[in-house]
């Protein structure tokens, strides 16, 4: 049996954890590639590439078709800039059209509201992340949105989690990172945060063997475990949710 979660705040990954955004990411990538006359990719291929942000996604798409390789010429750099600009435009114009919020996520966030401060820590750049969260109608539930606006911030680097913990006024050891892939768990390890791996999402099959996250089968399970971990006398929210 899992031990109670000794946490004071929760950080969620975005893509593959809160929302199934793969169809919209695929659309944005393929739209950008098409503008440059490059080959597009099917949804299953793009889904397997998600997790490291749009710049890495674009690099994988280019490498897959032998374009803009490691030599890093000015022409390569200019192409990547144009692709990223087109990717952002496509995302902001349709943040969550074909994708969806995972079942149970709205109830999870509503149930935790007022009991735990919640943040989003994602490798998607902040403006794109906020647009997706807003389109998903879950932006009001989170206190912070931290996106990888530079390569140095990108998970598995711990900077975003550490900054979130500092702003919330909690020790990293009490900030739970909830995600679906190795970047999330390695980020938590580097920051000294506990981690939970969700069973849905994109990257759970590729978790390094030395990591031992808490495994979460459903949003309902996570909600129950977090509310059960509240100090005695503060569980009225749990009773309200589960006894109605």
Active site residues: 13
Please, are residues 7 and 175 in contact by the beta-carbon 8 Å criterion?
yes
Residue in 161, 205, 158, 148 with CA at minimum distance from that of residue 182: 205
Task: Return d(Cα 137, Cα 83) in angstroms, integer.
Answer: 28
- Of 119, 133, 201, residue with least CA distance to 161: 119
Whether the Cβ atoms of residue 193 and residue 175 lie closer than 8 Å to each other: yes
CA distances for 221 relative to 52, 56, 201, 217, 218, angstroms: 27, 32, 16, 7, 5
Question: Which pair of tokens denotes residue 218?
Answer: 């459903």
**Contact between residue 162 and residue 172 where contact means Cβ atoms under 8 Å apart:** yes
């Amino acid at each position: 049996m899992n031990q109670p979660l000794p946490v004071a705040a929760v950080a969620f990954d975005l893509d593959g954890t809160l929302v199934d955004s793969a169809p919209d990411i695929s659309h944005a990538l393929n739209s950008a590639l098409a503008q440059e006359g490059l080959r597009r990719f099917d949804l299953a291929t793009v889904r397997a590439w998600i997790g490291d942000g749009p710049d890495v996604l674009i690099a994988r798409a280019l490498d897959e078709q032998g374009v803009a390789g490691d030599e890093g010429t000015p022409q390569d750099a200019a192409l990547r800039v144009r692709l990223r600009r087109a990717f952002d435009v496509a995302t902001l114009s349709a943040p969550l059209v074909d994708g969806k919020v995972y079942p149970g996520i709205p109830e999870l966030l509503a149930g935790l509201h007022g009991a735990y401060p919640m943040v989003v820590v994602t490798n998607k750049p902040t403006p794109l992340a906020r647009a997706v969260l807003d389109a998903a109608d879950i932006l009001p539930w989170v206190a912070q949105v931290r996106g990888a606006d530079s390569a140095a911030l990108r998970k598995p680097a711990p900077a975003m989690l550490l900054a979130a913990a500092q702003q919330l006024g909690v020790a990293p050891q009490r900030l739970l990172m909830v995600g679906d892939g190795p970047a999330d768990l390695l980020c938590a390890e580097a920051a000294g945060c506990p981690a939970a791996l969700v069973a849905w999402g994109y990257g759970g099959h590729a978790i390094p063997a030395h990591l031992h996250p808490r495994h979460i089968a459903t949003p309902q399970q996570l909600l129950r475990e977090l509310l059960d971990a509240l100090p005695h006398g503060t569980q009225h929210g749990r009773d309200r949710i589960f006894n109605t």
